[in-house]
Amino acid sequence: MAAHALNRHLVLVGFMGAGKTTIGAEVARRLGRAFVDTDEVLDVQVLERDEPAYRAAEAQAVRSALASPPAVIAVGGGAVETPEVRELLGEELVVLLDVDVETAWTRTRGSDRPLARDETEFNRRYELRQPLYAAVADASARDADDAVLAAAGVHVEVGALPLLRDLVPGHGPAALVTEPVVAGIHGADAQLALPFAETHELPSGEAAKQIPEVERLWRALRVGRNSTIVALGGGSLTDAAGFTAATFLRGCAWVPVPTTLVGQVDAAIGGKTAIDIPEGKNLVGAFHWPARTVIDPALLETLPAQERLNGMAEVVKTGLLAGEPLWELPDAELVRRCAAFKSAVCLRDPRDEGPRRVLNLGHTFAHALEAAAGYELPHGRAVALGLLAALRLSGRPTGPVEEVLHPEPARVDRERAWKALQRDKKGPLRVILVGDEGGFETELSERDVRAALEALIAR
C-alpha cells in the first residue's frame, strides 16, 4: 500500500454523496494538480439499462485517468466493485471519503442517479461496498484538509503515539532517535508501542544539528537500508535525524514523530532536513520525504510555555499565509489545519523550487538573527521578529504578531546579522511578503532590507 502521493495519483473513493467531486476539486487546487472525475465521461443512464457495460466503461475511464501525470482522481462510488479497478488502484494513494448511509441518502435521493431511487437497494449497495472501500484505501478523510494530509503521508491523531506499531510502515527493524528530555517523558511509551532494535540520543535543541553529533549517530547506527529511523523529538531533533536518514547508507526510510508545536505544524513536514555550520543555519541538508509523519497533539500537553510560544510563531506564519486566524483554534484543530496547509504547499513543490518558498515568510530575517546570536536566540522569537519585518515591508498590520507572539528586539551585532542575511541560502535580497492572496516572493532594495533588519535589533 502507498504511504503518500508524492509521485503518485491521489485517488478518492467513497459512496454516493461522500463529496468526492467537491473535495477532489479543492484538493487538486491546493496541490496544483489536474482534477479528473471519471463519472464525468460516463453516461449514468447506461447503468440502469446495462450495468456490466457501464462498469466496463468505468474501468476504462479509470485506466485512462491513471495514464496521465500524477493528478487527483475521483472515481465513481461503484467502481470498486470491479476487480480490475481494485487492481489498478494498487500502486496509487487511495483515500476513502467516508459518509454514513443516512447522510448519503439525504444528499442523493431524488437525483438522476439510478441507484439513488430505491432506499432499500441504496442501503444494500452501501453495505456491499464498505469492505471493498476498506480493502483499497490507504487512509480515510472527512474533508479536504484530511485528504491533503493523507496525500502527504501525515497522520494527525490525538493519542497516536501508542499506535506507532500500526503507523510506522515497513517490515524491517526500526531505530529510535530521540533527545534526553523527550526520552524521559515519552521514550518509554514509544518503546512500548513499537519495540526498537536500537535506540540513540542526540542533544536537545539546536545542538543536535552539529556535524560532530550527526557523525556520532552515523557511526552508532547498526540498521540496514530496509530499516526505518523513527525520530521522536522537537524540530531540531527531526531535522538532524532526518538528515541522518537521508545520508546513512545513501538513504533509509524515516518517520518523524514531532513532540513540539513547531515540529508538529512545520519542521517535521515536507521532507526538508538540514544541519547547521558556523556560517549559517540549515546550510547543509537534503530533501528526504518521510515514509510517514506521525503527529499526536496530545504530546503538547507537556510542552513548556516558552516552547509553545516558539511554535506559535510558525502557527501565526501559517495563518498569515492562509489568510485565516489559525492561532485561535484549539490545539488539535490548530495542528491539523496548519499541518494540512504546509503539506499541500510541500506536495506542490517538494524540492523548494518555487511555490514552497512562501513558507520562508519571516525566515530570511529570522535566520540572520539566529546566526548573529550564535544560535542562542530561540527560533520562535527570531521568527516572530522576522514576521514583523515581513509585514512592515508588505504594508500590512502587525497586530497578530504583536498580540500573539509579543516579540522583543534581539540583542545581536548588526554587522554580523547583515552578513548572515546576505549569505542566506534563499538569496540576500529576495524576501517573502504577504499580499491579498497569500505569500509571494519579491526582490527589494538593499537599503529597505537592511533597514527592516536593523529595526529588529535592540539599540
pLDDT score for 256: 98
Question: Residue 145 — very low, low, confident or very high, per pLDDT cuts 50/70/90?
Answer: very high
Averaged pLDDT for residues 71-96: 96
- Alpha-carbon distance of 212 to 214, in angstroms, equals 6
Q: Which domains does the chain have, with CATH numbers?
A: 10-152 (3.40.50.300), 155-303 (3.40.50.1970), 355-454 (1.20.1090.10)
Q: How high is the mean pLDDT of the chain?
A: 93
pLDDT score for 179: 96
**Strand 72-74 with 35-37, pairing:** parallel
Does the structure show a pLDDT above 90 at 197?
A: no
Percentage of the chain with pLDDT > 70?
98
pLDDT score for 1: 62
pLDDT score for 427: 52
pLDDT score for 196: 87
Question: Residue 48 — very low, low, confident or very high, per pLDDT cuts 50/70/90?
Answer: low
Return the closest-CA partner of residue 244 out of 213, 266, 267, 269. Answer: 213
pLDDT score for 374: 87
pLDDT score for 181: 95
Does the structure show a pLDDT above 60 at 380?
A: yes
Task: Express each pLDDT in 251-275 by its tens digit.
Answer: 999 999 999 999 999 999 999 999 9
- Alpha-carbon distance of 4 to 88, in angstroms, equals 17
pLDDT: which is higher, 162 or 195: 162
Question: Residue 148 — very low, low, confident or very high, per pLDDT cuts 50/70/90?
Answer: very high
Rg (CA), the chain: 24
pLDDT score for 97: 97
pLDDT score for 451: 96
Does the structure show a pLDDT above 60 at 125?
A: yes
Does the structure show a pLDDT above 60 at 333?
A: yes
Task: Express each pLDDT in 204-257 by its tens digit.
Answer: 988 999 999 999 999 999 999 899 999 999 999 999 999 999 999 999 999 999
Task: Express each pLDDT in 304-314 by its tens digit.
Answer: 999 999 999 99
Least confident of 54-68, 110-124, 309-323: 110-124
Question: Residue 349 — very low, low, confident or very high, per pLDDT cuts 50/70/90?
Answer: very high
pLDDT score for 66: 96
- Alpha-carbon distance of 13 to 84, in angstroms, equals 15
Does the structure show a pLDDT above 70 at 444?
A: yes
